[in-house]
Amino acid sequence: MVRVSPRSRVAGWPAAVPVVLVFLVALAALALTALGACAPTGPGPEGGGGPAPATDLPVTRLTPLGEDDGYLGEGEGVSPFTEDLPLLTRMDPELLKAVRAAATEARTAGVDVVVTSGWRSERYQQFLLDAAVTVYADEEEAARWVATPQASSHVSGEAVDIGRTDAADWMGRYGAAHGLCQTYANEMWHFELAVEPGGTCPAPRADASAG
Ligand SMILES: [Zn+2]
């Protein structure tokens, strides 16, 4: 058990209230915030995440996630043509080029492509993984949805999440013309360069835990 100094207790609470309980509640809230954006219909697929809430609990003394982590506020998406945003600029340049080309083509079909997640820092990915483990209360299930920082293609800059649902659907149908393929069967929003432009995408892996 982590020893907690008296001053980190919540003022006015009985000393018997374990700070760890408060920590867990805060973590659960963070986790729900992060995974609330998980559904394909949501604007922030598989990774919203959120900066720590404004309390003075020990867990929130960590530096909040920010643009330099590739973090985008919950529910937000950006145009793939946005300049100077790390989640885009730290992406594999070929991937970004392909996404922009596909987005331009999608526009002519009346579909607006937004990027809901791109490059991520290791600590952002770890945050998402921790949140998933908390929500699913099962590491194996969490691993189906969120890769480790070591394995994540978002951390290596080789993956992009596309929103919103109509755009992800469009990308699934026509992205291969630009080399973009949905690589996990359970994530319709997640694309990687996986084929030569104009080729046929390989069958997606079942999920992020599949080798
Ligand atoms: Zn993804």
Cα-to-centroid distance, 168 and ligand 1 (Å)? 12
pLDDT at 62: 65
pLDDT at 150: 95
- Closest alpha carbon to 162 in 149, 174, 151, 150: 174
pLDDT at 177: 98
- Closest alpha carbon to 209 in 187, 176, 181: 187
> Which protein residues have their CB within 5 A of the ion that is ligand 1?
159, 161, 190
CB of 180 closer than 8 Å to CB of 200: no
With a cut of 50, list the residues of the chain below it in pLDDT: 1-45, 47-61
Cα-to-centroid distance, 120 and ligand 1 (Å)? 10
Cα-to-centroid distance, 83 and ligand 1 (Å)? 21
* Beta-strand runs (E) in 71-204: 114-117, 160-163, 180-182, 190-193
**What domains does the chain contain, in order, with CATH numbers?**
17-193 (3.30.1380.10)
pLDDT at 7: 41
Cα-to-centroid distance, 188 and ligand 1 (Å)? 9
pLDDT at 24: 41
Reply yes or no: is the peptide bond before residue 164 cis, omega within 30 of 0.
yes
The reported pTM is: 0.72
